[in-house]
């Protein structure tokens, strides 16, 4: 049954390949090859999962043609010797076994060759001196721990640059051809030439980086020569039954004379002429800043590069692959509007390898959503293996789901992400599961965060739908205590009641214009908890009124919209606590025309966020006017202001409303709250240790697998 996605699910032709549908998994480093860059069992399992999940085309992560030269990591695939062929053969077999086609992304990483830098080998660039960019860009809003981990990639060394000579370029062209021959020998279906993302070929295409006056620089044709020679020679050697895709930047952000969409179109036309079968349109930022990373190559907005794909498509007659936070309905539309022919979905397929099958089976609502948290790609900054906040299996392939020796009666207390995941997994394994939730809705604090981050709400909706189809019994508005838990006669009890808020000791925190995190949560979750009415009556009751009136608790979309018109909060709002919640709330409120200040004691705001997301969130919030004050100590909340110390100076910020968004901790005394439970007991999620959605899902999954 294929009702909603006729185009996305239709067969497509790419060169000599017929693909079963238009869904492409783009290259995404998994960094799980052996120390010699050979394919490991983990690599095989990762791609096999996605072949099984129904994608039409898989693209193996960026692989180094002259490894270790021009490579970013020891653990990326090496294409520089025949030793890789057996591993590639296995990959081909695993992909083909499930009906997918598979090609390999081949690259020389040029100025970003971490392995060269770590070995004191100068990195290759088209021209010296390199253009100026913000060399400290990645250090802003980055924690010391992250910076130290990033330094491990290059052994703490800084790059030295070398202008690539004619001989070196000819050697690299040859290395691409030899790599292609190995890929073909291994029975894989083709190659993707990585001519994007600031790597060697991309820098040759860019006027900013390539200021040569020889046959490799100057006009578009000469700047494209490195690429077109690689394409032409591979076509010559590998024949027409070998697919050649070229990945280019449709735009180069953040640098003068960077690649434009028109130039990208010219490059695409030249690549077609040289023998390419398809063009894959991504983007890059060369600003050097962290926030630039979310302009390219890791987009933040939905369909961020779709217009670029459309421009390129108008210049070529071969298929175009679009990429950049494209969800299935967008993909269907983009193909219908002739923006592109194929749609690459990267993080969506990390979050849910079964995405294509769910579309094919007419169950798009069963697709586990990617929540755009950047947790996966954060690992690539320090040679780690990506993990996924919502899909614990990513990078965790050794653990097979075990059939339990004995089917048990499992009672889970708390339906936040940890409890939901634990219930899902334990029930899938055959256990009888009862999920108890004291609120009137599922999701725990993820509901609070969905106000500001709608994708988190999508995840909770997904859990609800999946559990609806399961045998899990859900009891909402159930205030559990030991007696009521034991009345279910459980074999196992899992406590997933979330974090507890420590009471603020800031002077003035009891004033009526101060709203605590627990009050916010209680308001959003349709609770009649005493938190709602404690103390701050004016503010709380007004908020509650708004919530009830608008169907707020059922419909976050509505409240996001309505709150743009009216909110029972003053003009000047100070948020105490610049963690994940404080940061996202600040943006939400400033978009609703409030003057928002955020006070944070730590040196970096929201260190718990994956750093690319933190960079973007801080940028967005600052653009909308939020004032961030880090490394400070809050002294007192007054009637109209908050007083804090910065660099030994007393400062004051105006505040008609104050939100306390700090002070959550794992509930260490949890077992004392449930005395007399004498069966197997586990504590998961924030109740065990603060880990946000990622940590909660991981711990829920772990316990769901072992009970
Ligand atoms: C963990 C991770 C690793 C990536 N590695 C590569 C890579 O090896 N080569 C590449 O061209 N792009 C890489 N990308 C970028 C993706 O191919 C893709 O262009 C990007 O994620 C945008 O698509 P999406 O929004 O559908 O995820 C990576 C992305 C992620 C999330
Ligand atoms: S880690 Fe986050 S961004 Fe990456 S795939 Fe998973 S949900 Fe999406």
Q: Is 346 in the pocket of ligand 1 (CB under 6 A)?
A: yes
Nearest atom within ligand 1 for CA of residue 76:
8
Query: Tell me, what's the pLDDT at 264?
Result: 98
User: Which 3 state secondary structure label does DSSP give 58?
Assistant: strand
Pocket test for ligand 1, best of 22, 25, 29 (most atoms within 8 A of CB): 29
Identify whether residues 466 and 564 lie together within a single domain: no
Nearest atom within ligand 2 for CA of residue 348:
5
Last residue of one domain, picked from the residues 348, 369, 390 = 369
Query: Tell me, what's the pLDDT at 298?
Result: 98
Q: Are 15 and 240 in contact (CB under 8 A)?
A: yes
Nearest atom within ligand 1 for CA of residue 348:
26
Query: Tell me, what's the pLDDT at 542?
Result: 55
The total number of structural domains that make up the chain: 3
The mean pLDDT of 481-509, rounded to a whole number, is: 91
- Split at pLDDT 50, 70, 90, the class of 134 is confident
- Which burial class, exposed, middle or buried, applies to 224 when counting CB atoms under 10 A from its CB (0-12, 13-18, 19+)? buried
**Omega before 129 within 30 of 0, i.e. cis:** yes
- Which burial class, exposed, middle or buried, applies to 505 when counting CB atoms under 10 A from its CB (0-12, 13-18, 19+)? exposed
pLDDT higher than 90, residue 596: yes
Query: Tell me, what's the pLDDT at 535?
Result: 44
Identify whether residues 86 and 218 lie together within a single domain: yes
Is 376 among the domain residues?
Answer: no
pLDDT higher than 90, residue 39: yes
Pocket test for ligand 1, best of 22, 23, 27 (most atoms within 8 A of CB): 27
- Which burial class, exposed, middle or buried, applies to 691 when counting CB atoms under 10 A from its CB (0-12, 13-18, 19+)? buried
Is 674 among the domain residues?
Answer: yes
How many angstroms does the Cα of residue 324 sit away from the middle of ligand 1? 9
Identify whether residues 443 and 586 lie together within a single domain: no
Q: Is 194 in the pocket of ligand 1 (CB under 6 A)?
A: yes
Which ligand is located closest to the Cα atom of residue 393? 2
Q: Are 461 and 647 in contact (CB under 8 A)?
A: no
pLDDT higher than 80, residue 147: yes
- Split at pLDDT 50, 70, 90, the class of 439 is confident
Identify whether residues 458 and 536 lie together within a single domain: no
In whole angstroms, what is the distance from residue 452 CA to residue 458 CA? 12
Nearest CA to ligand 2 atom 7: 370
pLDDT higher than 70, residue 492: yes
Show the tokens assigned to 413. Answer: 């207390």
Pocket test for ligand 2, best of 389, 446, 462, 691 (most atoms within 8 A of CB): 389
Identify whether residues 347 and 287 lie together within a single domain: yes
pLDDT higher than 60, residue 502: yes
Is 327 among the domain residues?
Answer: yes
Q: What is the DSSP letter of 525?
A: T
Query: Tell me, what's the pLDDT at 528?
Result: 47
Nearest atom within ligand 1 for CA of residue 196:
11
Identify whether residues 221 and 350 lie together within a single domain: yes
Is 680 among the domain residues?
Answer: yes
In whole angstroms, what is the distance from residue 685 CA to residue 697 CA? 7
Q: Is 299 in the pocket of ligand 1 (CB under 6 A)?
A: yes
Compare 503 and 518 and report the one with higher pLDDT.
Answer: 503
Ligand 2 site residues (CB inside 6 A) read: 347, 350-351, 370-376, 388-390
Identify whether residues 80 and 217 lie together within a single domain: yes
Identify whether residues 328 and 445 lie together within a single domain: no
Which ligand is located closest to the Cα atom of residue 331? 1
Is 2 among the domain residues?
Answer: no
Which ligand is located closest to the Cα atom of residue 378? 1
The secondary structure of 220-283 as a DSSP string is HHHHTHHHHHHHHHHHHHH-TTSEEEEEEEEEEESSTT---HHHHHHHHHHHHHHT-SEEEEEE
Q: What is the CATH number of the domain that holds 466?
A: 3.40.50.720
**Omega before 68 within 30 of 0, i.e. cis:** yes
What stretches of 596-649 show up as alpha helix (H) in DSSP? 611-623
Q: What is the pLDDT of residues 260-279, one digit of tens each?
A: 999 999 999 999 999 999 99
Q: Are 403 and 429 in contact (CB under 8 A)?
A: yes
Query: Tell me, what's the pLDDT at 536?
Result: 47
Q: What is the CATH number of the domain that holds 192?
A: 3.20.20.70
Range of the domain at 533: 501-665
Q: What is the DSSP letter of 208?
A: T
Show the tokens assigned to 701. Answer: 């999954």
**Cα-based distances in Å from 270 to 109, 174, 265, 336, 476:** 22, 20, 9, 26, 61
Pocket test for ligand 1, best of 298, 349, 373, 613 (most atoms within 8 A of CB): 298
Nearest CA to ligand 2 atom 2: 373
In whole angstroms, what is the distance from residue 50 CA to residue 138 CA? 32
Q: What is the pLDDT of residues 226-236, one digit of tens each?
A: 999 999 999 99
Show the tokens assigned to 659. Answer: 């939100």
Q: Is 26 in the pocket of ligand 1 (CB under 6 A)?
A: yes
Classify each residue of 536-573 as buried b or exposed e, where b means 16 or more C-beta atoms within 10 Å of its C-beta.
Answer: beebbeebbebbeeeebbeebeebbebbeeebbbbebb
Identify whether residues 471 and 544 lie together within a single domain: no
How many angstroms does the Cα of residue 578 sit away from the middle of ligand 1? 29
Residues in the chain: 707
Show the tokens assigned to 122. Answer: 């100068």
Query: Tell me, what's the pLDDT at 462?
Result: 97
pLDDT higher than 80, residue 485: yes
Query: Tell me, what's the pLDDT at 120?
Result: 96
In whole angstroms, what is the distance from residue 399 CA to residue 391 CA? 13
Show the tokens assigned to 663. Answer: 């002070």
In whole angstroms, what is the distance from residue 56 CA to residue 292 CA? 31
Q: What is the pTM of this model?
A: 0.95
Q: Is 563 in the pocket of ligand 1 (CB under 6 A)?
A: no
Identify whether residues 530 and 436 lie together within a single domain: no
Query: Tell me, what's the pLDDT at 524?
Result: 54
Which ligand is located closest to the Cα atom of residue 201? 1
Query: Tell me, what's the pLDDT at 545?
Result: 54
How many angstroms does the Cα of residue 525 sit away from the middle of ligand 1? 36
Identify whether residues 625 and 688 lie together within a single domain: no
Helices and strands per DSSP (H, E), number in the chain: 26, 27
Which ligand is located closest to the Cα atom of residue 305? 1
pLDDT higher than 50, residue 145: yes
Which ligand is located closest to the Cα atom of residue 697? 2
Q: Are 246 and 212 in contact (CB under 8 A)?
A: no
Show the tokens assigned to 391. Answer: 């899909």
Nearest CA to ligand 2 atom 4: 376
- Split at pLDDT 50, 70, 90, the class of 543 is low
Please, what is the end-to-end C-alpha distance for the chain in angstroms?
Answer: 37
Which has the closest alpha carbon to 173: 217, 108, 109? 108
Query: Tell me, what's the pLDDT at 686?
Result: 83
In whole angstroms, what is the distance from residue 475 CA to residue 472 CA? 10
Contacts of 554 (CB under 8 A, 6+ apart): none
The mean pLDDT of 458-482, rounded to a whole number, is: 96
Mean pLDDT of the chain: 92
Beta bridge partners of residue 247, listed in sequence order: 194, 280
Query: Tell me, what's the pLDDT at 447?
Result: 79
Is 59 among the domain residues?
Answer: yes
Which has the closest alpha carbon to 234: 200, 280, 275, 186? 275
Which ligand is located closest to the Cα atom of residue 58? 1
Beta bridge partners of residue 659, listed in sequence order: 515, 575
pLDDT higher than 90, residue 285: yes
Q: What is the CATH number of the domain that holds 632?
A: 3.50.50.100
Q: What is the pLDDT of residues 77-133, one digit of tens each?
A: 999 999 999 999 999 999 999 999 999 999 999 999 999 999 999 999 999 999 988
In whole angstroms, what is the distance from residue 499 CA to residue 449 CA? 14
How many angstroms does the Cα of residue 347 sit away from the middle of ligand 2? 6
How many angstroms does the Cα of residue 327 sit away from the middle of ligand 2? 13
Phi, psi of 335 (to 5 degrees): -70, -40
In whole angstroms, what is the distance from residue 585 CA to residue 600 CA? 14
Q: Is 246 in the pocket of ligand 1 (CB under 6 A)?
A: no
Pocket test for ligand 1, best of 28, 194, 295, 391 (most atoms within 8 A of CB): 28
Identify whether residues 601 and 674 lie together within a single domain: no
**Cα-based distances in Å from 684 to 404, 501, 687:** 20, 17, 6
Is 382 among the domain residues?
Answer: no
Contacts of 470 (CB under 8 A, 6+ apart): 423, 424, 427, 428, 433
- Split at pLDDT 50, 70, 90, the class of 700 is very high
Is 291 among the domain residues?
Answer: yes
How many angstroms does the Cα of residue 698 sit away from the middle of ligand 2? 13
Residue % of the chain over a pLDDT of 70 = 94
In whole angstroms, what is the distance from residue 331 CA to residue 446 CA? 28
Residue % of the chain over a pLDDT of 90 = 80
pLDDT higher than 50, residue 150: yes
Q: What is the DSSP letter of 605?
A: S
- Split at pLDDT 50, 70, 90, the class of 526 is very low
How many angstroms does the Cα of residue 654 sit away from the middle of ligand 2? 37
């Amino acid at each position: 049954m294929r009702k909603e996605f006729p185009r996305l699910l239709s067969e497509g032709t790419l060169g000599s390949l017929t693909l079963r549908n238009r869904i492409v998994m783009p290259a995404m480093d998994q960094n799980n090859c052996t120390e010699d860059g050979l394919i490991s069992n983990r690599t095989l399992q990762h791609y096999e999962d996605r072949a099984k999940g129904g994608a039409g085309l898989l693209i193996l992560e960026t692989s180094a043609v002259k490894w270790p030269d021009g490579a970013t990591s020891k653990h990326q695939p090496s294409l520089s010797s025949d030793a890789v062929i057996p591993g590639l053969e296995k990959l081909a077999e695993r992909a083909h076994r499930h009906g997918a086609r598979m090609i390999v992304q081949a690259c020389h990483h040029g100025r970003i060759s971490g392995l060269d830098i770590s070995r004191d080998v100068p990195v290759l660039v088209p021209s010296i001196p390199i253009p100026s960019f913000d060399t400290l860009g990645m250090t802003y809003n980055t924690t010391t721990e992250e910076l130290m981990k990033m330094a491990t990639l290059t052994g703490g060394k800084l790059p030295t640059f070398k202008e690539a000579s004619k001989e070196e370029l000819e050697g690299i062209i040859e290395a691409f051809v030899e790599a292609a021959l190995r890929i073909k020998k291994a029975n894989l279906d083709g190659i993707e030439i990585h001519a994007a993302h600031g790597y060697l070929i991309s820098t040759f295409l860019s006027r900013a980086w390539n200021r040569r006056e020889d046959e490799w620089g100057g006009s578009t044709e000469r700047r494209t020569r490195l690429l077109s020679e690689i394409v032409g020679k591979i076509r010559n050697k590998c024949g027409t039954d070998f697919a050649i895709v070229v990945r280019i930047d449709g735009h180069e952000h953040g640098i003068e004379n960077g690649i434009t969409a028109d130039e990208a179109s010219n490059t695409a036309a030249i690549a077609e002429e040289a023998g390419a079968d398809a063009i894959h349109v991504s983007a890059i930022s060369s600003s050097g800043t962290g926030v630039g990373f979310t302009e390219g190559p890791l987009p933040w907005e939905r369909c961020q590069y779709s217009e670029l794909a459309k421009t390129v498509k108008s210049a070529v007659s071969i298929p175009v692959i679009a990429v950049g936070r494209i969800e299935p309905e967008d993909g269907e539309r983009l193909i219908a509007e002739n923006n592109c022919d194929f749609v690459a979905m990267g993080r969506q397929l990390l979050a849910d390898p079964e995405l294509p099958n769910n579309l094919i089976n007419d169950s798009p609502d069963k697709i586990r959503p990617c929540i755009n948290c950047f947790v996966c790609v954060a690992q690539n900054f320090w040679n780690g293996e990506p993990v996924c906040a919502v899909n614990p299996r990513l990078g965790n392939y050794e653990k097979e789901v075990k059939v339990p020796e004995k089917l048990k009666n499992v009672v889970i207390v708390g339906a936040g992400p940890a409890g939901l995941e634990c219930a899902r997994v334990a029930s899938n394994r055959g256990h009888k599961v009862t999920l108890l939730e004291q609120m009137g809705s599922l999701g725990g604090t993820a509901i609070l965060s969905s106000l500001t981050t709608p994708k988190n709400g999508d995840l909770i909706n997904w859990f609800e739908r999946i559990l609806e189809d399961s045998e899990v019994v859900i009891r909402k508005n159930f205030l559990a205590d030991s007696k009521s838990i034991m009345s279910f006669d459980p074999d196992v009890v899992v406590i997933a009641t979330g974090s507890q808020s420590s009471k603020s000791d800031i002077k003035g925190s009891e004033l009526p214009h101060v709203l605590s995190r627990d009050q916010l949560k209680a308001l959003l979750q349709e609770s009649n908890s005493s938190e709602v009415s404690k103390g701050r009556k004016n503010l709380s009751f007004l908020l509650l009124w708004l919530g009830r009136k608008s169907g707020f608790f059922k419909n976050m979309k509505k409240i996001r919209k309505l709150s743009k018109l009216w909110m029972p909060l003053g003009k000047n709002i100070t948020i105490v606590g610049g963690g994940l919640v404080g940061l996202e709330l600040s943006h939400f409120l400033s978009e609703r025309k409030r003057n928002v200040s955020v006070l944070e004691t730590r040196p970096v705001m929201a260190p718990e966020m994956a750093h690319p997301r933190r960079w973007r969130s801080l940028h967005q919030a600052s653009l909308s006017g939020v004032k961030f004050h880090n490394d400070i100590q809050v002294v007192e909340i007054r009637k109209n202001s908050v007083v804090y110390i910065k660099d030994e100076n007393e400062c004051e910020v105006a505040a008609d409303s104050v939100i306390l968004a700090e002070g959550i901790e794992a509930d260490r005394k949890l077992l004392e709250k449930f005395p007399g439970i004498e069966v197997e007991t586990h504590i998961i999620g924030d109740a065990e240790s603060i880990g946000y959605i990622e940590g909660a899902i991981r711990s829920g999954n772990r316990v769901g697998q072992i009970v």
